Structure 1
Amino acid sequence: MLKRLTLLLTLQTLALFLFATGFFPQKTVIKGDSQFQINATLQSQTRPTFNKLVLIVIDALRSDFLFDSQKSHFHFVHSQLNKGTAWGFTAYSNPPTVTLPRLKGITTGSTPNFLDAILNVAEDDISSTLEDQDSLIKQFYMQGKNLKFFGDDTWLKLFPHHWFSEFEGTNSFFVSDFEIVDKNVTRHLPEQLAANDADVLILHYLGLDHIGHKDGASSKFMKHKHLEMDEIIKMIYESTQYSNEYDDNTLMVVMGDHGMNEVGNHGGSSAGETSAGMVFLSEKLAKYSTPQEQMNFEVPLLPNLNEEGQNNFQYLNSIQQVDLVPTLATLFGLPIPKNSVGVIIPEFLQMLDPQIISTKIKENYNQLLQLSKKSANEYEYNFDSDLDVNQEILQNEMKNIQNELTKTATNYNYNLLIIGYSILVISTLFTSLLIWKDYSKKNIFQLIPITVISIMLGVSTFSSSFVEEEHQIWWWITTGFITVSLVSTLTLQNGFSPLKTILYHLIIFGCARILRGWSNSGQKYIYDHVLSNVLKSHTNIQWYLNLLTILIIGFQKDSTSNFFKFTITFFLSVLCFIYKVNWAIVNNENVPDWFYASTYEACSILIGPTATTFQDSLIPMANLFLKAIVTTIIGRIIYSKIFIGKNNKDSLLIPDIVKYIKLLLIFETSSTKISQFLIFEIINHIWPKLLNLVKDTSDNDIANSIELSLIPLISLILQNFTFFQFGGTNSIATIDISNAYHGISENYNIYQVGLFMTISNFAPSIYWTIITWPTLYNSTSITNKNSKWIIFASNKLPILFFNCIVGCCLLASCYILRYHLFIWSVFSPKLCYFLGWNLFMNSIVGYIVEGLIVALA
């Protein structure tokens, strides 16, 4: 059965990747560089409104951070908005709301490609370059402008370095740092402002985004960061507008590339994530009529609440973020980039020479028509007419074209979609036959639970709300399973105390409820008083629980029976705990007072005299732990093979490896979530007792078949339940990258970062995968060499069956709903997560790693 299982898993994985390749193709773009099409001579000879641009991108600058009286501390910006020398907008940022696709949007004006959201983390990736694609940056460069850039090095991945006369990039993913990363940008300003020779100066600040990832949108660090950014804006504004002699030909644009949700993450399509702030600043703006919404109010503003009483993050006038591209192109006398779907912001038309306003509107309209590949006579306005342009009608028509272009941004590869889905259906049919044959030998009724769960989850993939709130489904599956277990065990009593049975189940119910309230799960609702936030405000309790968790995992009874093993476990546990405390201190988290001195002393002993500060010891401590854990696992396997021998069974090898992996999972977990592993340990201590009760009431063959059917089912349920209660969702916005950089300095390694990020986000699911190994492969269940592989295959078959059923439904829903409003914000991220589960959890952890452990055991 193992060979057939391997073949079916390979086919399933191949099918998913073929379908995904057809579903997420590289977007087709128009090649070449744009030139003026309407009255080209007039446009070329007309003096531009501005001749210098300072573009300040503040990563994750949500609209309320700029305009809200309860959130914003940009006091200088507020004063300029009220004077009329600054115009403010809420700019809609098309999802996926991560930096790479958004930078493409604000430079080319094009709609994002969902694949860019995945490539966003790949610092080494060069497939996203815009060198051959028309953009504002390229237009400035071809006009001979002097461009300079300092900030997020994603820009340097997008644009050739030689386009900039000076540049320096800062790494965008070391989210624990929100001070140095911005100082490395600001330190260039005195020299650059004094030289005053840049036609285009681009600055991209990351600190505010890092604070969000680290501590949420309401972090205590936000106020200081707002004030810091506001002071930088003031310094640049006063230098460019007032220094030497009066000059109002410099335009400053301060903007966010996207927003963030209340947890501080982004990538999804919630109002907070898609509502970015944008402000234009120049003394010249005061000469013209202020936008209507801004004219009627004084900034900062009160929150704008929707019908449910929640902030919709809409302040002042609302625009599309891509509208920035044709607006800047028009103000600086540049052709609009070919792939732009933006429409000139109407308020800026008054700043143009009256003789050219009509031409610029026609130029924008013509460019959108060419992009849409439609003729003008399909719309109200007759483009060939000599009559004056009706601005309002034409603006509306351009918005209609923009909406159509945004909806039809992707060309699906239907051949790959059909081939991929067909292979998956075939794989599902053969998997169903295989599992039916396998369970027919045991008890076919044992197949009912996994079948019901598979169909339930499969059907749910056709509803956007069920996908967004999948944690609710797993909560009811978990509680339902515990209830069925309670009823079943009470009816199977055989000398086992009913009171103890009820007590065990009540404890598991209690643990599940605690996990349920630990983090914000789902995408629709955010709660302030979840347990993780409570622990943040009671740091002593949090850290004593963290210490207790590590002690319980590290020093279980098998660790104390052997002095050598005890020493190794003690060393690994101490390393893990010291690093987590050190990391917390460096990231301005509160820890118990006596932890400071003891951690510093421990770092000095372990690292040596080079560890003069907590920051200095952070990376060496991480590397020391990682090397120690890998060496310990390899050493333990070698010891088992050499000293225990082939003829003797090492019953403690798998439990020891599982224990070391648990410490690695804690190492890759945020401090507010470490204590969840304590709850996991309580559940893990009880459920084998209940399993033994079921086994004790049956003969050996039936007991073994029940065990082999229940263990993968329990593991599957707890993998998914705890994944969501850990804070995971089906949205890119909740991918946690804060633990992906342990032990990594300036030398970025995409493979190491990708591995750590995946381990961090799937930590609870990995736990409930590896925790089954000691039970499945204990010495009493292995009667011969083949029996362990029979157990291995029997354990994997239900998981493969579940993924085949759910996969068929999910792929069908993605195809059927490919033009649905939420296809990119809900269904596409779900497809990406499903790919991640299958590739990492099922293929790598559940098949390759577990298979390797079984082979060595």
Structure 2
Amino acid sequence: MALRTVLLTVANLLIPVAILIFATGFFPYKPFMPGLAEYEKLGWEQAMGWKEESVPEAPFDKLVFMVVDALRSDFVFGEDSGMSFVQSLIREGTALPFTAHAASPTITMPKVKAMTTGSIPSFLDVILNFAESDTTSTLSTQDTWLAQLRAKQGGKLVMYGDDTWLKLFPGFFERADGTSSFFVSDFTEVDNNVTRHVPEELLNSDWNAMIMHYLGLDHIGHKAGPKSPNMLPKQKEMDGIVRDIYSAIENEDHLSKTLFVLCGDHGMNEGGNHGGSAAGETSPALVFMSPKLKDISQHMEKVSPTKPKDKGGEFEYYRMVEQSDIAPTLAGLLGFPVPRNNLGVFIKEFLSFWPHAADRIRLLLRNARQMKMIVEATYPNLSFEDESKAAGNECEPPLSDGQDLACKWHGVVDTMSTTSRHLTAEHRIDQLFWFLTAAQEKMSSTASNYDVPRLIIGTVLTFVSVLVTLFTLPSLRRITPPGVAYTLTIILYSVLMFASSYVEEEHNFWYWATSGWFFCLFISKSRKEWQSKFVFHPAIMLLVTHRIIRRWNQTGQKYAGADDIVHSGIFHGNTSFILWALVGATYMDITIRISRHVARSILVFDKGSSSEDSQAVDANRFMGVIAVLPLGATAFVFKLAFTARDAPELTYGINQGLIQWVEDLSLVDVARMVFAGTALSAVWITISEWKRNRDRRGEGSGDLAIALFDLLSLFLITQTKAQNIPLYLLFRFQFFFLSLLDLTPAAITTTTLLLIQTSFFALGNSNAISSIDLSNAYNGVSGYNVIAVGLLLFLSNWAGPIYFTAASSLLLSSPGRPRRNIAMNEVDSRDWVQKEREHLERMAKSEEEGRKRRESSEVWGRHVGLMTLWVGVATGSVMVACTVLRTHLFIWTVFSPKYLYAMAWGIAFHFGGTLGLGSLVWRAGRW
């Protein structure tokens, strides 16, 4: 027994070590060229017939760079957009609009890096993006357009808004005022804090770049989605700010040569989230504005300003450019060298600012020479000399990516040679764009500099953990249905991790696997007493509830917008009372169950465990309800107020007088009241159970475990969106029907594995970063705290799995106890008194009770072993898939996010859920 414990401990410790080692090899920082770029001689003056080396004169000397977080293209260009002033500028020709393609991951920090350096950032920035205090991802030593502007004589920068910029560019700004990007409950103050600085800065003439990053629109999306009633007013607010800034540019002399750029760092999907590769997430708006653009706007592609392109995607308005193209375009328009690590291409519409063809060619040549340096560093064995060596068979297919780029560069060299003076300027420009776009495409998709030895070490350690875990499990004496189901689940899951489509639609695997397992339970558990009640067989009822659960939220990628129960309309508008009736029933069920625990605890302190006074029992039951009702009511009011403020369309069917009252409440204070009440109830019940059991030596009643489970349920629904709270009634039914089946420990473990995964996806989660729900991460938090917010974020997104982890611990805690009582908490105070008297009579059977405790410990040890085995195999499979497919087209959009989720399952959930919470509930069940 001791050896098994040691081996299981070693196996569990190996898992996080392996995960972190693999992560350091899979998500390394990409190397970059240090230092600031400088203008260099092109060397083709004589060949091109140019009189002298010169830098094309820049049309602008100041920049206003306004980022509106999650500004999806249709928020600016669509028919229903609230940004009418921006659209009027487009029609007048003083604004040039584009849809910027934001490559995955569509998270703020990587996208700011892409816009400022012109490069493709590391996927590791997804993790660093959530670490508000992180400074390891700074761009202070990298070449960016901010560094170039700051290096200019007298260059000063000012910044207001998202403090991500302050982390990335420490010490860069003459004046700055940062706001937290993660406090998503704030729609107004976070933007007002930016806007209040604008009038004063527009009067100042000492800066050459003002950066603003507005967060309110993104927060609205996270809380209530792109169709929130708060979205249009926020767009109008942003449009008004654009109007004020543009008017100042028109009227203030010191701003006459100011370029105004409005853009989004990323978009959002139909759920209001981002991080993945859906069209809405990768299509932010990009608008360049200035009165000086009137002269070149006739070169812009003529497309209806409120309709997407016919041959483009749903969110593709005007021409699609890469987000990295912003950096070289600003370099040309503001007159500084292209940043050294840039992979962007100068936007061709702005070439019309330079009437002389020689200036246009010089501009593109410098962009091409800078890009060639990166290509040379990537393919050091190929020739990129400035003499043409692209002759004979060297440029004939088939060619590798590097050879293709080398040949295209030699084509550029040929067009610039003295023998090609007959070529027109347009032909040379086309040749330069040919090389630039090819280099951009190939270099942007080049695999990261993976540390393959670390990938191998991490994978090997994971499977060592699997082997060690196998030694802790009992030998297979016979084949059982739970064992077969568990083994098939592991094997099929491991195979499916190598298919990108299955990773995106993983929920379907768990839905079908769970359905199959429940049907197996029906076959194996069918007996005479159920044959006459076939429809009401517990396993059949499990299948029925499972069917409803899987239809509650449509998730995944392919059918993310398909109809489901939540979005069917029955919970919206005037019929939203149906939702709140179900929500109220959920809260009432939990409140009643908690009141029974409090009533029993009052009885302990009142009369002790031998009380037989029925009147006292009735009084204590009443007092239990009175004590707990305020907690349940406060929790319900909090959820109603939270929803009324963030998703009011879900409250239209409720009395509006009530809604107006709850909207005036402080959400932070009410949430803290719920958390404090839940914690105090847990402490009170724990103390009463300790008092009741301090003189007992036999089997515990298990009431403490049930009480903790019920209090946990209240906390979890507080961390869940209102439209998903009724799912916990269905989860409760599943728990009840499982308790009637009298499952073996192995069957309980298999069921646990299936239900923790099923519930995760049923709540609307997926393997895309965009499905992470931030809406409940700030319940009870008045400001950003990385520990509190991180913990609440995890608990809200993994609420379903946590629920079933605790439920399975209850089923495993005391073999032989009536499972119906565990599941439904149907023992009232009178039954409790009788049960206590019977227990005192059994005190002498201590040897038998000790044997049961030892058996219970062995059962729990096998459960932990099987769950550890699952985590090891699942994580190892993802590691192998990521290693083998590291050059796959979808490595960053599908497999990398999946590994991040595997990290969360393998470290946070396994250690905090299975080993932490699960062990706590199991031990409480034995007490």
TM-score normalised by L of structure 1: 0.90
Match of 1:429 in 2: 467
Deviation at 1:732, TM superposition (A): 0.3
Distance 1:331 1:206 in 2: 27
Distance 2:645 2:264 in 1: 27
Aligned pairs for 1:295-306 (under 5 A) are 296-302=302-308, 304=310
Deviation at 1:386, TM superposition (A): 4.1
Deviation at 1:227, TM superposition (A): 1.8
CA distances 1:581-622 after superposition (whole Å, capped 9, x unpaired) = 222233362537877766898x9xxxxxxxxx735x221222
Distance 2:906 2:458 in 1: 15
1:408 aligns with 2:457: no
1:3 aligns with 2:41: no
Name which of 36, 60, 66 aligns with 2:70.
60
Change (3 A) 1:343 1:168: same
Change (3 A) 1:670 1:511: same
Change (3 A) 1:444 1:511: closer
1:271 aligns with 2:279: yes
Match of 2:408 in 1: 380
Match of 1:356 in 2: 359
Deviation at 1:668, TM superposition (A): 0.7
User: What secondary structure, in the 3-state scheme, does the structure 2 residue paired with 1:376 have?
Assistant: coil
User: What secondary structure, in the 3-state scheme, does the structure 2 residue paired with 1:422 have?
Assistant: helix
Q: Give the alignment's Cα RMSD to 1 decimal.
A: 2.6
Aligned pairs for 1:121-270 (under 5 A) are 121-143=130-152, 144-160=154-170, 162-241=171-250, 243-245=251-253, 248-270=256-278
- Number of residue-to-residue matches in the alignment: 818
Match of 1:798 in 2: 866
Worse-superposed segment, 91-100 or 800-809: 800-809
Is the 2:549–2:762 contact (alpha carbons within 8 Å) kept by the matching residues of 1? yes
Distance 1:312 1:811 in 2: 35
Match of 2:324 in 1: 322
Deviation at 1:721, TM superposition (A): 1.0
Change (3 A) 1:764 1:488: same
Change (3 A) 1:797 1:129: same
1:683 aligns with 2:734: yes
Deviation at 1:117, TM superposition (A): 0.9
Match of 1:399 in 2: 437
CA distances 1:613-672 after superposition (whole Å, capped 9, x unpaired) = 735x22122223223323333443343234421525242010001111111101111111
1:107 aligns with 2:116: yes
Q: Between Structure 1 and Structure 2, whose CA radius of gyration is higher?
A: 2
Change (3 A) 1:681 1:123: same
Match of 2:22 in 1: 19
Deviation at 1:176, TM superposition (A): 2.6
Name which of 591, 595, 617 aligns with 2:651.
591
1:710 aligns with 2:769: no
Query: Identity over the aligned pairs, expressed in percent?
Result: 33
Match of 1:334 in 2: 336
User: What secondary structure, in the 3-state scheme, does the structure 2 residue paired with 1:381 have?
Assistant: helix
CA distances 1:673-719 after superposition (whole Å, capped 9, x unpaired) = 11111111121121211x22xxxxxxxxxxxxx51011111111111
Deviation at 1:497, TM superposition (A): 4.5
Name which of 666, 674, 677 aligns with 2:717.
666
Distance 1:488 1:286 in 2: 77
Matched residue type, 1:360: L
Match of 2:369 in 1: 366
Q: Which sections of structure 1, spanning at least 5 residues, go unmatched?
A: 604-612, 693-705
Match of 1:74 in 2: 83
Aligned pairs for 1:320-719 (under 5 A) are 320-352=322-354, 354=356, 355-372=358-375, 373=377, 374=379, 375-377=383-385, 378-382=406-410, 385-387=416-418, 390-408=428-446, 410-435=448-473, 437-440=474-477, 446-490=482-526, 493-500=527-534, 502-527=536-561, 529-533=563-567, 534=569, 535-537=571-573, 538-556=575-593, 558-559=596-597, 561-562=599-600, 563=620, 565-587=624-646, 589=648, 591=651, 614-615=664-665, 617-645=666-694, 647-648=696-697, 649-689=700-740, 691-692=741-742, 707-719=744-756
Distance 1:598 1:225 in 2: 26
Matched residue type, 2:761: F
Name which of 745, 749, 754 aligns with 2:790.
754
Is the 1:450–1:798 contact (alpha carbons within 8 Å) kept by the matching residues of 2? no
Name which of 759, 763, 774 aligns with 2:799.
763
CA distances 1:165-185 after superposition (whole Å, capped 9, x unpaired) = 221122212223222222222
User: What secondary structure, in the 3-state scheme, does the structure 1 residue paired with 2:738 have?
Assistant: helix
Distance 2:627 2:133 in 1: 37
Worse-superposed segment, 544-553 or 566-575: 566-575
Deviation at 1:553, TM superposition (A): 1.8
User: What secondary structure, in the 3-state scheme, does the structure 2 residue paired with 1:786 have?
Assistant: helix
User: What secondary structure, in the 3-state scheme, does the structure 1 residue paired with 2:525 have?
Assistant: helix
Is the 1:464–1:827 contact (alpha carbons within 8 Å) kept by the matching residues of 2? yes
Q: Which sections of structure 2, spanning at least 5 residues, go unmatched?
A: 46-51, 386-405, 601-619, 818-848
CA distances 1:405-460 after superposition (whole Å, capped 9, x unpaired) = 2122521111211111111222223334544x3443x7555421100011111111
Deviation at 1:26, TM superposition (A): 2.1
Worse-superposed segment, 4-13 or 426-435: 426-435
Is the 1:543–1:592 contact (alpha carbons within 8 Å) kept by the matching residues of 2? no
1:720 aligns with 2:757: yes
User: What secondary structure, in the 3-state scheme, does the structure 1 residue paired with 2:268 have?
Assistant: coil
Change (3 A) 1:357 1:600: closer
Deviation at 1:127, TM superposition (A): 1.4
Matched residue type, 1:477: A
Deviation at 1:752, TM superposition (A): 0.9
Distance 1:326 1:574 in 2: 58
Change (3 A) 1:808 1:92: same
Distance 2:486 2:203 in 1: 69
Matched residue type, 2:347: I
Worse-superposed segment, 721-730 or 779-788: 779-788
Deviation at 1:325, TM superposition (A): 0.2
CA distances 1:821-844 after superposition (whole Å, capped 9, x unpaired) = 100100011111111111122121
Deviation at 1:768, TM superposition (A): 0.8
Worse-superposed segment, 583-592 or 338-347: 583-592
Deviation at 1:289, TM superposition (A): 4.8
TM-score normalised by L of structure 2: 0.84
Name which of 741, 759, 777 aligns with 2:813.
777
User: What secondary structure, in the 3-state scheme, does the structure 2 residue paired with 1:56 have?
Assistant: strand
Matched residue type, 1:428: V
Deviation at 1:479, TM superposition (A): 1.6
Distance 1:379 1:178 in 2: 52
Match of 1:606 in 2: none
Matched residue type, 1:59: D
Is the 1:58–1:206 contact (alpha carbons within 8 Å) kept by the matching residues of 2? yes
Distance 1:596 1:778 in 2: 49
Is the 2:325–2:344 contact (alpha carbons within 8 Å) kept by the matching residues of 1? yes
